[in-house]
Structure formats: C-alpha cells, structure tokens
C-alpha cells in the first residue's frame, strides 16, 4: 500500500515522440534565425549549415543529441544565505510570482496604474514572507526608473529585501554583466556563484523560430556564469505559430531545442530549464489570454515533453486576464496553479499577475498563495497513514463518542489537510458578518497590511546593500543618468 | 448597379478574395467606374466587417481576410483608377510598422486593418522596421500619419528615434506621429513628443479621426 502522486498526462507517448521528431525536422530543414553573431558563429563552427537564403541556421541531429545528453536534469537554487531553496527536478513543484509587470493593481484605489519604484519593496517583502513562494521574481517594472536600468534596479530590490532566489531577466544586452556583478556581491566569488546559483534568467526566443540578439546573448551569458537559463518560447496560436495545439507544441519544441543547443555549445553541462509562455491567441480581441485553458493545455503538454527530454521544466501559470480581483481572476489563477502542480512543472511563475502578463497585485499575490498551498497538498495525494486504515480508530471513536481528541486525530489532522490563511473564508455566516462581511479582496487588503506592518524581515546588511547600490549608480552614470531614485523603503 | 455594388460589399465582408477579384474584373469589363466600385462596393464591405469584428461577431482571421480581399480587388482596379485621374477619397494616408528590433506584428497589423476598414490609405511596412525607413516611406507616399508599434520595453526607445529623425530632417510638423504597443502609454507619447497613443485598434481609429477633425 502506498500513495500515488496525482498526475496529469496531456499527450500519449507516441504524440510526444511525433512532436519532438517534427521539431527536429524543423531545425534541420527550416532552421532558426539567429541574430547574435557569437551564437551564429558557434553553431556554424559546430557543423551547422545555412539555409538557401542564408538567413537561417540549419541544425544537425548530432548537435541536438549531444546538447540534450549534456544538459543537467536537476538544477538547485540557493538562497541569499546559501541555503538550498529549490530543487528543479522530476515532478517537484515550486511557485514564484509572475514577473515583469508594467502595471500594478492599486487595491486602495481599485485601479490599475503604472508600476513604480515604491511598489518594489512591498512586493518583494510580501513574496519573502509567504512560504509557498520558493523564489522572488523581479515582478514589477518601475516606470520612474530610466527604461534601460529597470532590469538591474528590480534585482537590487529583490536582493536587498529578500533571502529567496530570484527569477529574473535582462532588458538590454549589457544588463547581464551588471546583474552578475550584483549577484557576486552576495556570493563573494564566481565559483561560489556557480556552485550555488542565486538567480534564474529568462531567455525568450521570438516566435516564429528566431533568437534576437538580446535574448540569445542572455543565453550565452547564463552559460558562462553558471546561472540557470530559462527558455521562454511563446508561440501564439494562429498568430505567431500554427493554430493547433500540437502545431504550437512543435514550434515550441523547435525553438526550445535550438536554445538548448546554443547554450550547451557555449558551456556543456550548464543549467537550462525547459519553459515557456505560449498563449491560445484570442481571435476576437487579438489578445494573449493566460487564463485560457487551452493556454494551460499547451503549458502542461510542453512540460511533459520537457520531462521526456530530461530537462527541468517551467511555465507561466496561475495568472489571470481579468482587470479586477474578481471571479475570473480567482478561477483562472487557481486552475493554472492546480493544473501546473498536477503536471509536475518544476518552476511555476504566475501568482499575483493579472491583465494577461501585465499587472501585479499584492492582494492577488496573497490570494493566489492560498491556491499554491492547496495545490501543494493536492499533489501529496491520498496517503494510507496507518494499518488498519480505520478499524482501530473507529473502535476508539465509538467508545469516546467522537474523534476530536483521539491520538490518531491529533497525530494526523494537520498533515491530512491544508489549512488556508484567513483570506479564504470558512466561517459561519454570522461570524463573517461580525467581521465586516468582507469579500476576498477586502480580506486580502487587510492581510497585506498586517503582513507588511512589521517592516522588512530579510533586509540585507548595510555594507552589501551599499556595494549593490554603488554598482547600480556607477552603471546609471554610464547610461547618462546622474542619480537614481532611492529605493523607497 | 446597386446590386453589383452589393455583391462587391458582400464579397469583401465575407473575406472572399476570389469573388472580390472576379467582381473587379467584371467592373473593368463592363466599364463600371473603378472609383465607384471601390467606394460604394468594397469600402462599405470592409467597414461592415470592422463593425462586426468590433461587436464580436467576426474573428480576426476573418477580418484580415476581408482586408486582403479588398486589397486584392483594389489592385486590379488600380490601373483604371489611375487612368481616370480620379482618386479614392481617404481620411488620411498612414505609414505604419513595428519598430526595429521588434518582430511583434499582430497588434500593428490589426491597427492597419481597422484603419483601412475606416477609410485610411495604409502603407504597412511590416515588423522590425528601421527608424529611417519610417521617415523615408512617409516622405515618399506623402503620409499624414506615422504609426509606430513597439511591444517590448527594449524597443520602445526606437519610437523616439523616429521622432528625433523627423526633427533632424525638419519635417516633424508634416506628420501626426502615433505610438502603440503594450509598454507605451499617453505619458510615454507625451514624453517623446508623439501626437498620441492608442491602446487598441478601435482607439487608434478614434485617435486618428480626432487628429484630422
């Protein structure tokens, strides 16, 4: 007798093989447009050919096989203090907030506005405090910080106010070097950073079948620094990819495999994650709904393919397209979280996010956190706790007249169930009314205030904080900005 | 005649390219005025398709098919139209594209489609368009509007470079420059000296109309 981990399979083994085979054919016969010269040279020097019009690089099966054989199937991330924080492997699941929101839902004013530097510390602190989030994400793009410097400024906030590893990315080709300098302040040396990666960098191919200079450079930089690269292929069905789910999966697989090859050519064995951000394109509104179940089906299916290829996996799930913290936000986000968990996706980015991938919300971050808690319980499955399962306890319970105070109950009740935070209301009506008849958003608003009141529990020491700030400031001057807004605390 | 125009309208509304082209050839064969055929037949058909899309009745691929049917039919009529010395009435001439470094095409294509459905002559330069090409094309076609799309925070600075180049060539005042794309907003438009920002295709039409009014 044992427990099974409930698990979703989206494709038959035969379909997985067909998708991978066709993706290889795409790489061999259509090829990939690689804008980055270093990466293109690397590929050409390794036996690739040019397409007839010279625009695309045609891969070889040998290169693909070698890259897949060398890429690690397990990636560990470590906290700011050097403690193991995430193990991306098998069906392990880890949640972190959706990243790079341009907007913030201001629950005090009930409106969506631009993200600001003053949003960063509350967002980072909240993510740091909520235990079901294993990592930070550089979740908000501050509109009051010069455009070119936003990537590093966000990382500064995350490193200063949280111990958790960071899921991040670069906005400019020169971003990585500065961000790596910042990570080195935390770890102390290149080797220490390599041994204990602190950040994941998203690297996005451009659909269809293209690597831009910036994102490809990011792939190379990650390989050099030993920081995990996260492939974020984003086919949009019927818009930038074939409209069928399987067609989009072929394109996703081809783009991702090309990334694995470039990355592994640069540094064999460097950590790389099979991720993505596809969407089932809405043909009425011309939008990219992350809450569409078809989007989630593509996510779950490519993760299954990633596992088949032996790579750790990632997806953007747990997001909503709603512009309010409402029914739609709740059902789309929780469905995403649960389906991702059941698909065994290792790194799940999305909570807090609404308005497609454009808006972060502290209150939603708190509510989605509960969905993550439920989902983590869900994948533990139904575990036979004792033998016999119930016979002895029934006998005892009949004698006692109830089960409340039985040792068996005390031993198991906290392990059998997930007890959600108070933002999930399980009170009787009268009690709820006494508490002010609050809906989920109102309850979350209260919870955010309570959580943030004590200040920043994981504040970085002053000497390293200053070292990070000096890096940021020196870089800002290179970009012609004399000062940067101080991070509002 | 109204029946013939009705057929033209219907062909475009349905996105039936072959039918639209056949009707254009028939117009030529029967010496039907090319301008009337476009303005009373095809244009109302495309406008109707735009309206139906706005109401959620038509899907994007259907709208794009309608625009393509209209474009194909107009191409057949173009030589006769030029020969007649008459010109299609237009609300304005638009040069539109996604800025260099950015290959996101959809939002821009949608805006171009809806603009042409609403009587604007659009010149769609595609995606990843160099700064200079926006200016060169606008000069060459005598545009009224330059519409620049950027979907990435990394590429939106290119929108400003187009405006800078217009100023450098002392032609800034000849054009209304509109910007769009996820990371843009009104504040950004004001900051870089654009004439306006639109968040979606329908607001782009309203914005353009407000600027020509």
Residues in chain A closer than 8 A to B54 (CB atoms): none
**C-alpha span between A352 and A360 (Å, rounded):** 5
Query: For residue A451, how many other CB atoms are within 10 A of its CB?
Result: 17
Q: What pLDDT is stored for residue B183 in this prediction?
A: 77
Would you call B56 an interface residue with chain A, using a CB distance cutoff of 8 Å?
yes
Nearest residue of A to residue B188, measured between CA atoms = A143
In chain B, count of helices (H) and strands (E)?
Answer: 10, 5
C-alpha distances in Å from residue A35, one per residue of A23, A55, A127, B149: 20, 9, 36, 21
DSSP strands (E only) in chain B: 92-98, 120-124, 145-149, 176-180, 196-197
Structural contact between residues A155 and A182, judged by C-beta atoms closer than 8 angstroms? yes
Domain boundaries, chain B: 2-84, 92-212
Kindly report the nearest CA distance between residue B79 and chain A, in angstroms: 33
Q: A284–B60: do the CB atoms touch at under 8 Å?
A: yes
Q: What is the pLDDT of residues A209-230, one digit of tens each?
A: 999 888 899 999 999 999 999 9
**C-alpha span between B175 and B166 (Å, rounded):** 9
Query: For residue A468, how many other CB atoms are within 10 A of its CB?
Result: 23
Q: What pLDDT is stored for residue B1 in this prediction?
A: 60
Structural contact between residues A133 and A96, judged by C-beta atoms closer than 8 angstroms? yes
Q: Which two three-digit tokens encode residue B32?
A: 């039907």
Residues in chain B closer than 8 A to A141 (CB atoms): 153
Q: Answer left, alpha or beta for residue A210, where phi above 0 means left and psi between -120 and 50 means alpha.
A: beta
**C-alpha span between A303 and A19 (Å, rounded):** 13
C-alpha distances in Å from residue A205, one per residue of A65, A73, A136, A259, B69: 20, 21, 23, 8, 33
Q: Residue A207's closest CA among A262, A263, A259, A252?
A: A252
User: Which pTM was predicted?
Assistant: 0.90
Q: Residue A22's closest CA among A274, A295, A257, A303?
A: A257
Q: What is the pLDDT of residues A56-83, one digit of tens each?
A: 999 999 999 999 999 999 999 999 999 9
Q: Which two three-digit tokens encode residue A254?
A: 């081809």
Residue partners of B31: CB distance under 8 A and separation at least 6: none
Residues in chain A closer than 8 A to B66 (CB atoms): none
**C-alpha span between A207 and B210 (Å, rounded):** 35
Structural contact between residues A452 and A122, judged by C-beta atoms closer than 8 angstroms? yes
Interface of A with B in 93-152 (CB under 8 A): 102, 114, 141, 143, 147-148, 150
Which H or E run includes A128?
helix A117-129
Q: Which CATH number does the domain B2-84 belong to among 1.20.1260.10, 3.40.1410.10, 2.30.40.10, 1.10.1240.10?
A: 1.10.1240.10
Question: Where does B92-212 sit in CATH, by number?
Answer: 3.40.50.280
Between β-strands A49-50 and A57-58, what pairing exists: parallel, antiparallel or unpaired?
antiparallel
Structural contact between residues A445 and A363, judged by C-beta atoms closer than 8 angstroms? yes
Query: For residue B123, how many other CB atoms are within 10 A of its CB?
Result: 18
In chain A, count of helices (H) and strands (E)?
Answer: 17, 18
Q: A203 has which bridge partners?
A: A231
C-alpha distances in Å from residue A290, one per residue of A75, A320, A336, A367: 26, 6, 9, 18
* Complex ipTM value: 0.75
Q: What pLDDT is stored for residue A373 in this prediction?
A: 98
DSSP state of A149: G
Interface of A with B in 170-189 (CB under 8 A): 171-172
**C-alpha span between A252 and A258 (Å, rounded):** 10
Between β-strands A272-276 and A314-316, what pairing exists: parallel, antiparallel or unpaired?
unpaired
CA B60 to chain CA centroid, nearest Å = 15
pLDDT tens for each residue of chain B, 213 residues long: 679 999 999 999 999 999 999 999 999 999 999 999 998 999 899 989 988 988 889 998 898 899 889 889 989 998 998 888 887 778 899 999 999 877 677 778 888 888 887 778 899 998 889 999 999 999 999 999 999 998 877 788 899 999 999 999 999 999 999 999 877 888 889 999 999 998 877 788 888 888 876
Q: What pLDDT is stored for residue A284 in this prediction?
A: 87
Interface of A with B in 212-231 (CB under 8 A): 212, 214
DSSP strands (E only) in B60-119: 92-98
pLDDT tens for each residue of chain A, 489 residues long: 788 999 999 999 999 999 999 999 999 999 999 999 999 999 999 999 999 999 999 999 999 999 999 999 999 999 999 999 999 999 999 999 999 898 999 998 999 999 999 999 999 999 999 999 999 999 899 989 987 788 899 999 999 999 999 999 987 788 899 999 999 999 999 999 999 999 999 999 988 999 988 889 999 999 999 999 999 999 999 988 999 999 999 999 999 999 999 999 999 999 999 999 999 999 988 888 999 999 999 999 999 999 999 999 999 999 999 999 999 999 999 999 999 999 999 999 999 999 999 999 999 999 999 999 999 999 999 999 999 999 999 999 999 999 999 999 999 999 999 999 999 999 999 999 999 999 999 999 999 999 999 999 999 999 999 999 999 999 999 988 888 889 988
Between β-strands A111-114 and A103-106, what pairing exists: parallel, antiparallel or unpaired?
antiparallel
CB-based burial label for A153 (10 Å; 0-12, 13-18, 19+): buried
Q: A102–B106: do the CB atoms touch at under 8 Å?
A: no
Would you call B184 an interface residue with chain A, using a CB distance cutoff of 8 Å?
no
DSSP strands (E only) in A317-376: 347-349, 353-354, 359-360
Q: What pLDDT is stored for residue A143 in this prediction?
A: 87
Task: Please give the backbone phi and psi of residue A274, each rounded to the nearest 5 degrees, phi first.
Answer: -90, 95
DSSP-derived 3-state class of residue B32? coil
**∠ Cα A413 A418 A419 (to 5°):** 90
């Amino acid at each position: 007798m044992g427990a099974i981990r409930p698990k979703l399979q989206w494709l038959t083994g035969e379909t997985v093989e067909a998708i991978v085979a066709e993706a290889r054919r795409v790489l061999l016969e259509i090829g990939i447009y690689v804008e980055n010269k270093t990466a293109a040279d690397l590929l050409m020097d390794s036996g690739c050919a040019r397409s007839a019009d010279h625009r695309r690089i045609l891969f070889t099966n040998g290169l693909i096989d070698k890259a897949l054989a060398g890429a690690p199937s397990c990636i560990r991330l470590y906290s700011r203090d050097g403690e193991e924080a995430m193990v991306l492997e098998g069906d392990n699941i880890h949640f972190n907030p959706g990243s790079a929101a341009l907007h913030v839902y201001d629950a005090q004013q009930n409106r969506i506005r631009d993200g600001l530097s003053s949003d960063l510390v509350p967002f980072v602190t909240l993510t740091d405090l909520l235990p079901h989030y294993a990592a930070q994400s550089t979740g908000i793009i501050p509109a009051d910080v010069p455009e070119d410097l936003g990537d590093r400024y966000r990382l500064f906030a995350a490193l200063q106010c949280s111990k958790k590893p960071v899921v991040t990315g670069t906005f400019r080709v020169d971003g990585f070097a500065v961000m790596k300098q910042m990570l080195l302040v935390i770890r102390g040396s290149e080797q220490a950073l390599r041994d204990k990666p602190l950040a994941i960098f998203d690297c996005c191919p451009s659909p269809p079948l293209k690597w831009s200079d910036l994102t490809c450079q990011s792939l190379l930089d990650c390989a050099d620094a030993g920081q995990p690269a996260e492939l974020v292929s984003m086919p949009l069905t019927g818009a930038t990819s074939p409209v069928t789910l399987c067609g989009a999966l072929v394109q996703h697989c081809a783009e991702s495999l090309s990334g694995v090859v470039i990355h592994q050519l640069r540094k064999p064995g460097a950590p790389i994650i099979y991720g993505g951000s596809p969407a089932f394109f809405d043909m009425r509104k011309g939008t990219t709904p992350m809450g569409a179940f078809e989007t989630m089906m593509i996510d779950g299916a490519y993760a299954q393919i990633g596992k088949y290829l032996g790579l750790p996996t990632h997806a953007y799930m747990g997001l909503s397209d709603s512009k309010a913290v409402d029914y739609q936000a709740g059902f789309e986000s929780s469905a995403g979280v649960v389906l991702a968990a059941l698909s065994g996706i290792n790194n799940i980015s999305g909570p807090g996010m609404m308005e497609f991938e454009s808006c972060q919300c502290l209150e939603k971050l708190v509510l989605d956190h509960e969905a993550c808690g439920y989902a983590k319980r869900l994948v533990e499955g139904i575990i036979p706790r004792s033998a016999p399962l119930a016979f002895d306890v029934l006998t005892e319970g009949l004698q006692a007249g109830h089960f409340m105070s039985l040792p068996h109950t005390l031993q198991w009740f906290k392990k059998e169930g997930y007890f959600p935070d108070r933002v999930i209301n399980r009170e009787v009506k009268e009690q709820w009314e006494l508490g002010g008849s609050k809906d989920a958003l109102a309850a979350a608003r209260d919870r955010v205030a309570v959580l943030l009141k004590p200040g920043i529990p994981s504040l970085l020491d002053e000497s390293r904080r200053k070292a990070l700030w000096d890096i940021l400031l020196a870089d800002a001057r290179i970009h012609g900005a004399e000062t940067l807004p101080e991070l509002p605390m | 005649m109204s029946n013939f125009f009705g057929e033209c309208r219907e062909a475009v509304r349905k996105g039936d390219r072959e039918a639209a082209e056949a009707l254009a050839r028939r117009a030529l064969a029967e010496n039907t005025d090319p301008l009337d055929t476009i303005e009373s037949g095809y244009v109302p058909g495309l406008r109707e398709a735009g309206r139906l899309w706005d109401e959620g009745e038509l899907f994007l691929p259907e709208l794009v098919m309608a625009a393509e049917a209209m474009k194909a039919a107009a191409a057949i009529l173009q030589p006769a139209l030029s020969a007649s010395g008459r010109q299609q009435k237009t609300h304005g001439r638009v040069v539109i594209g996604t800025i260099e470094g950015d290959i996101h095409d959809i939002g821009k294509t949608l805006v171009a489609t809806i603009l042409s459905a609403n009587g604007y002559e659009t010149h769609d330069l595609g995606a990843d368009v160099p700064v200079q090409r926006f200016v060169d094309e606008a000069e060459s076609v005598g545009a009224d509007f330059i519409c620049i799309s950027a979907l990435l925070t990394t590429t939106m600075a290119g929108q400003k470079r187009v405006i800078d180049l217009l100023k450098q060539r002392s032609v800034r005042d000849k054009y209304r420059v509109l910007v769009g794309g996820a990371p843009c907003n009104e504040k950004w438009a004001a900051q870089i000296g654009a004439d306006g920002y639109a968040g979606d295709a329908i607001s782009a039409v309203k914005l353009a109309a407000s600027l020509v009014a």
